Amino acid sequence: MRIGELAARTGVSVRSLRYYEEQGLLTSTRSAGGQRHYTDAEVERVAFIQHLYAAGLSSRTIVELLPCVDSPSHDNSDAAMERMAQERDRLSAHIEKLQHTRDALDALMAANQAHRDTPRANCSAMAASFV
């Protein structure tokens, strides 16, 4: 299939597919006219790559993990496991920082709300005293 069909079948832009190929994530054969041709297996590979991107992995990391997918072996498996553990640790640290940031934002929002409520309470008390 040509690149446009692969894009349509995977929901990934032609530009992204070209990028995947440039990064070594995807391969194609070329016609005599230079057009890219892909096999049906590439549809599944693109979906897998998308899942890895969604998990926060970079193209460099994905390239390191693909040999385990392409030709599973004990050595590849060990290297992939180590790399995935590193990525998991990186994501966990990032999540912890995000939680800290969210907590700081919650505290700021609470302080802002308390500040906003204070003048209203004072105005209500003053209005009640005039009645």
All domains in the chain, ordered by first residue? 3-130 (1.10.1660.10)
Strand, coil or helix: 92: helix
List pLDDT tens digits, range 14-28.
999 999 999 999 999
Residue with tokens 């992939």: 80
**Which carries the bigger pLDDT value, residue 121 or residue 80?**
80
- Please, which residues bridge with residue 52 across strands? none
pLDDT at 123: 57
Query: Could you please report the per-residue DSSP string of 28-77?
Result: -EE-TT--EE--THHHHHHHHHHHHHHTT--HHHHHHHHHHHHS--HHHH
Query: The whole model's pTM is what?
Result: 0.65
Q: Please list, in sequence order, all residues whose beta carbon lies within 8 angstroms of the beta carbon of residue 40, skipping any fewer than 6 positions away.
A: 1
- pLDDT tens per residue across span 25-46: 999 999 999 899 999 999 999 9
pLDDT at position 131 over 70: no
33 φ, ψ (degrees, to nearest 5): -85, 0
Q: pLDDT > 90: what percent of the chain?
A: 57
